[in-house]
């Protein structure tokens, strides 16, 4: 099962390596990990996408909680939540492909944020599935490079993760 | 008044009432050593290898309820210390390790004797810090001690760059620590505790499985009271030996891979299992699927949620500090109108006594060759069961655990989790300094003892009168045993060739060395050794090289699938 784990952690040098080291040392899966400071600069928030049986996910949350710098851990996927990821994708845009790429990008509510004679950079946000289907929807030979941020997640409504 | 970073470190140690620091100097810690030199409250013990400094500090902690402290230099000082840190980590021993680091400006430059200490040690410490400002030294060391000894204990490392030991700041040792990200639990969940007590009162075949957590949290008295109130059998893990008195009738021995027949059987066939401060290690419950074959209710008390339901699913998890939780359990039991089911207990004990009659630890003694088990039995007799005993790792370790009956906690020191050969003598050093005048025996093997033999020199310098009992079987016996059982007697690299004359070696270090070859001389040699209160005596017992440790549960097998003697092979 795929899980979205949110972690509030002291914004200190080395905190990230404690988390990533934990995953590699214990052989836990990690699909993506994103981290940045929160509105309170002394805290960082991580979103970790991991897969594993319930037992493993239980151990993951316990082990994360055990890290001295971790303040709070929540498994967002236990209830309603939102996931978003940002992708920048550079495509070869020449001839009739220019129009087609613009059209597909519009359908996915992407934005073209860089234009040259022969290329576009398209910015797209959404959940992982949406980004995947965008990549699937355009001719793969036109894709020059892609970069994705990994998933950031937040609970819906009254589910709040803070100090 | 402004103090240098080095002065601050030493003042912090004084504030923590540290009486011994175990360490080894070097470039990055010269200023720290200079400050140690100028005072006499914190005494420094100079070992001969950093690994031993860590083990000695670890043992100081294991045999008291205090935090052990070690001090090493950057680079090779740290890398040498890693084994000792990992050893303490695996057994949850509270320690503070202070390490020197290259100057802040040189970090990352591949400077002389630079290593990424925080990175290298991260997976084997409870926490670590790199101090980047002299003002942070005092609060960081305060935190280090706090983290080391609270919650599930463990080693905490503080890495201090050389320039920070020279820089100056006001010294103000914090009175207390608060950390928003670290709040160790004490009280257990009251509803869960009630459930547990109910289960225990209704049990027909209760069993109590107590581990290192009882020793670490100094609540043997509470455990003993509980076991007596319930009238249940009690087993201890290798780390828990002494948590419940071994000579008591309700004690069924150690359990696990080399555990007692009756302990493993009771563990498997009980209907309510109470696990206290024990972590269902793979050497303890054998194959988890086989263990789960029998239905039983499991109550597990542990301060670390990640110890619970990790390998074995439990029914009533109680996260909390053992002394607090046991107090609650005892109070509920005492207040309850119900009492344990006497008839059911009677039946249960009849069964246990039947298992006990198998006498799984009996062995064939000999008049010609010394049996290692016999040496440990005699050691127990000669010391009246009242010595501190450290061991190394191997067959001798298991024999010490099986045949020395520990009635008190913190008397038995060994490396259970990491299984580090070479801890024996350094553990002895730490224990003896913590308990001057008390008898301290080191039960070791000719393989393990050579992994830190240089510490005989430390023993000389600090007059540490260990009684080293080497069960010399000329083999890496534990390895040889597995090769015999699993690898068709192909003794690949397990024979110890070219052994030194250990008695002479001990003498060369300025100690007393004895070599004992006959069973009839064992007791006399031990008596002689313990009579020499002020001397370190190294007794090289030439023991039967073919002896194996029984009972044994082979890897992957169920707990009750025990080989009891050579005939079972
Ligand atoms: C050669 C060899 C053979 C071995 N064979 C055996 C064997 O046959 N039998 C055996 O038992 N072991 C054996 N071991 C040791 C084994 O590997 C483990 O180290 C040991 O079983 C673990 O003991 P424990 O479960 O008591 O846990 P420990 O490692 O002592 O852990 C203590 C537990 O208590 C908890 N705790 C700590 N403080 C508190 C507190 N204040 N409140 C509540 N909980 C707390 C901790 O969170 C932890 O879960 C062997 C080791 C070696 C090297
Ligand atoms: C540092 C280290 N290296 C290797 C091992 C693997 N090992 C476990 S027991 C053992 C043999 C120990 O031999 P000895 O000290 O003579 O004890 P014996 O088993 O013969 O009593 C070995 C090599 C270990 N536990 N620790
Ligand atoms: Mg040997």
Tens of pLDDT, residues A70-121: 999 999 999 999 999 999 999 999 999 999 999 999 999 999 999 999 999 9
pLDDT digits (tens, 9 = 90+) for B28-66: 999 999 999 999 999 999 999 999 999 999 999 999 999
What pLDDT score does A154 carry? Answer: 97
Note the ligand closest to the C-alpha atom of B300: 1
Site residues for ligand 2, CB cut-off 6 Å: B 392-396, 419-421, 445-448, 471, 473, 475-479
User: How far apart are the C-alpha atoms of B153 and B94, rounded to whole Å?
Assistant: 5
Share of chain B above pLDDT 70, in %: 100
pLDDT, residue B211, reads 98
Parse chain B into domains and list their residue ranges. 2-170, 190-356, 372-549
DSSP line for A34-82: EEEE-SSTTEEEEEEEEE--HHHHHHHHHHHHHSTTEEEEEEGGGS-EE
Residue A112's pLDDT is 98
For residue B41, give how far its alpha carbon lies from the nearest alpha carbon of chain A (Å): 31
Res. A60: pLDDT tops 90: yes
pLDDT for residue A157 is more than 90: yes
Ordered DSSP codes for A9-38: EE--TTHHHHHHHHHHHTT---SEEEEEE-
In three-state secondary structure terms, B560 is: coil
% of residues, chain B, pLDDT over 90:
99
DSSP string covering B376-436:
HHHHHHHTTT-SEEEE-SSHHHHHHHHHS---STTSEE---SS--TT-HHHHHHHHHHHST
Fold topology of B190-356: Rossmann fold (3.40.50)
Cis peptide bond prior to B551, omega within 30° of 0? yes
Say if ligand 1 is within 6 A of residue B259 CB: yes
Question: In this structure, are residues B269 and B206 in contact, taking their beta carbons and an 8 Å threshold?
Answer: no
Interval B283-313: pLDDT, tens: 999 999 999 999 999 999 999 999 999 999 9
Residues linked to residue B542 through DSSP beta bridges, in sequence order: B472
Q: In chain B, whose CA is at the least distance from the CA of A63?
A: B306
User: What pLDDT is attached to residue A67?
Assistant: 98
pLDDT at B500 over 90: yes
Nearest CA among B282, B273, B274 for reference residue B301:
B274
Same fold for the domain at B2-170 and the one at B372-549?
A: yes
pLDDT in tens, B385-439: 999 999 999 999 999 999 999 999 999 999 999 999 999 999 999 999 999 999 9
Residue A123 CA to residue B70 CA, distance in Å, equals 54
**What pLDDT, on the 0 to 100 scale, is given for residue B568?**
86
- How do residues B140-164 score in pLDDT, each as one tens digit? 999 999 999 999 999 999 999 999 9
| In the predicted structure, residue A163 carries a pLDDT above the cut 90 | no
- The yes-or-no verdict on residue B125 having pLDDT over 90 is yes
Does the domain made of B372-549 have the CATH classification 3.40.50.970?
yes
> Would you give the DSSP letter of residue B543?
B
Query: How far is B130 from B70, CA to CA, in rounded Å?
Result: 16
Q: What SS3 class is residue A121?
A: strand
The pTM (predicted TM-score) of the whole model is: 0.97
- What residues flank ion ligand 3 with Cβ within 5 A? B 445-447, 473, 475, 477
Instruction: Name every chain B residue with its beta carbon within 8 A of the beta carbon of A68.
Output: 126-127, 147, 179, 181-182
B365-373 mean pLDDT: 98
pLDDT, tens digit (0-9, with 9 covering 90-100), for B528-546? 999 999 999 999 999 999 9
What is the reported pLDDT for B569?
Answer: 80
Structural domains of chain A, with CATH: 2-79 (3.30.70.260), 82-152 (3.30.70.1150)
Q: Cα of B371 to ligand 1 centre, how many Å?
A: 28
Ligand 1 atom 11 nearest Cα: B237
Structure tokens that stand for B203 in this block: 């049990």
pLDDT tens by residue, B171-215: 999 999 999 999 999 999 999 999 999 999 999 999 999 999 999
Of B303, B540, B392, B379, the residue nearest B59 (C-alpha): B392
Cα torsion B385, B84, B542, B440: sign: negative
- The pLDDT confidence band at residue A148, using thresholds 50, 70 and 90, is very high
Residues ≥6 apart with Cβ < 8 Å to B466: B425, B428, B429, B432, B440, B441, B442, B459, B536, B537
The pair of structure tokens assigned to B96 is 């503070």
Calculated CA dihedral for residues A26, A30, A36, A41, nearest 10 degrees: -30
Please give the Cα distance from B93 to B237 (Å, whole number): 16
Q: Which of B448, B399, B457, B471 is nearest to B429 (CA)?
A: B457
CA distance B254 to B239: 10
Write down the CATH number for the domain with range B2-170. Answer: 3.40.50.970
**In angstroms, rounded to a whole number, what is the distance separating the alpha carbons of residues B167 and B3?**
8
Tell me the Ramachandran region of residue B75: left when phi exceeds 0, alpha when psi lies from -120 to 50, beta otherwise.
left
- Under a CB-based contact definition with an 8 Å cutoff, are residues B542 and B517 in contact? yes
């Amino acid at each position: 099962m795929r899980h979205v784990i949110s972690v509030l952690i002291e914004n200190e040098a080395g905190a990230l390596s404690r988390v990533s080291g934990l995953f590699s040392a214990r052989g836990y899966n990690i699909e993506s990990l994103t981290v940045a400071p929160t509105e309170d600069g002394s805290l960082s928030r991580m979103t970790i996408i991991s897969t594993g049986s319930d037992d493993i996910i239980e151990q993951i949350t316990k082990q994360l909680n055990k890290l001295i710098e971790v303040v709070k851990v929540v498994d967002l996927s236990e209830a309603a939540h939102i996931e978003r990821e940002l992708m920048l994708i550079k495509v070869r845009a020449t001839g009739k492909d220019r129009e087609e790429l613009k059209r597909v990008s519009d359908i996915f509510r992407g934005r073209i944020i860089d234009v040259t004679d022969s290329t576009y950079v398209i910015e797209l946000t959404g959940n992982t599935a949406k980004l995947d289907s965008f990549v699937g929807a355009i001719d793969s030979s036109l894709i020059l490079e892609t970069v994705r941020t990994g998933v950031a997640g937040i609970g819906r409504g009254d589910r709040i993760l803070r100090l | 008044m402004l103090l240098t970073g080095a002065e601050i470190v030493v003042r912090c140690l004084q504030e923590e009432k540290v009486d011994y620091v175990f360490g080894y100097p070097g470039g990055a810690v010269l200023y720290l050593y200079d400050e140690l030199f100028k005072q006499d409250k914190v005494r420094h013990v100079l070992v001969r290898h950093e690994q031993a400094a860590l083990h000695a500090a670890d043992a100081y902690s294991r045999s008291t309820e205090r935090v052990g402290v070690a001090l090493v230099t950057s680079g090779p000082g740290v890398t040498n210390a890693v084994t000792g840190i990992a050893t303490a980590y695996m057994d949850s021993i509270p320690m503070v390790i202070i390490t020197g680091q290259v100057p802040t400006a040189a970090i990352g430059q591949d400077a002389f004797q630079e290593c990424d200490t925080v990175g290298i040690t991260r997976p084997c410490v409870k926490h670590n810090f790199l101090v980047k400002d002299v003002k942070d030294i005092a609060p960081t060391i305060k935190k280090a001690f706090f983290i080391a000894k609270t919650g599930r204990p463990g080693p905490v490392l503080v890495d201090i760059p050389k320039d920070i030991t020279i820089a100056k700041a006001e010294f103000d040792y914090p009175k207390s620590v608060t950390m928003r990200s670290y709040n160790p639990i004490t009280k257990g969940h009251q509803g869960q505790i009630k459930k547990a007590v109910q289960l225990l009162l209704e049990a027909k075949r209760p069993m109590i499985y107590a581990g290192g957590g009882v020793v670490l949290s100094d609540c043997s008295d509470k455990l003993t009271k509980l076991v007596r109130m319930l009238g249940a059998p009690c087993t201890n893990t290798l780390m828990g030996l002494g948590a419940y008195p071994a000579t008591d009738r309700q004690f069924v021995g150690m359990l696990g891979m080399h555990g007692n027949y009756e302990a493993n059987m009771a563990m498997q066939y009980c209907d309510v299992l109470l696990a206290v401060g024990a972590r269902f290690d793979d050497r303890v419950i054998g194959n988890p699927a086989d263990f789960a074959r029998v239905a039983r209710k499991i109550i597990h008390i542990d301060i670390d949620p990640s110890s619970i339901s990790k390998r074995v699913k439990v029914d009533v998890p109680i996260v909390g500090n053992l002394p607090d939780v046991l107090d609650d359990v005892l109070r509920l039991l005492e207040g309850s109108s119900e009492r344990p089911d006497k008839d059911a207990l009677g039946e249960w004990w009849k069964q246990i006594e039947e298992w006990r009659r198998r006498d799984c630890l009996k062995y064939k003694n000999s008049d010609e060759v010394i049996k290692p088990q016999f040496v440990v039995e005699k050691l127990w007799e000669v010391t009246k069961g009242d010595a501190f005993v450290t061991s190394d790792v191997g067959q001798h370790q298991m024999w010490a655990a099986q045949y020395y009956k520990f009635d008190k906690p913190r008397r038995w020191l060994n490396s259970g989790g990491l299984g580090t050969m070479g801890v024996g003598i350094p553990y002895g050093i730490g224990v003896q300094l913590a308990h001057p005048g008390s008898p301290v025996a080191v039960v070791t093997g000719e393989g393990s003892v050579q992994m830190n033999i240089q510490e005989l020199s430390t023993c000389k310098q600090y007059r540490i009168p260990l009684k080293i009992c080497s069960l010399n079987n000329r083999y890496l016996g534990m390895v040889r045993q597995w090769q015999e059982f699993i690898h068709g007697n192909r003794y690949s690299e397990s024979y110890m060739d070219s052994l030194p004359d250990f008695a002479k070696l001990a003498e060369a270090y300025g100690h007393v060395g004895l070599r004992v070859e006959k069973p009839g001389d064992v007791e006399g040699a031990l008596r002689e050794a313990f009579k020499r209160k002020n001397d370190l005596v190294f007794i090289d017992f030439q023991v039967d090289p073919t002896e194996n440790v029984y009972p044994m549960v082979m890897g992957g097998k169920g707990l009750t699938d025990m080989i009891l003697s050579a005939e079972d092979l």
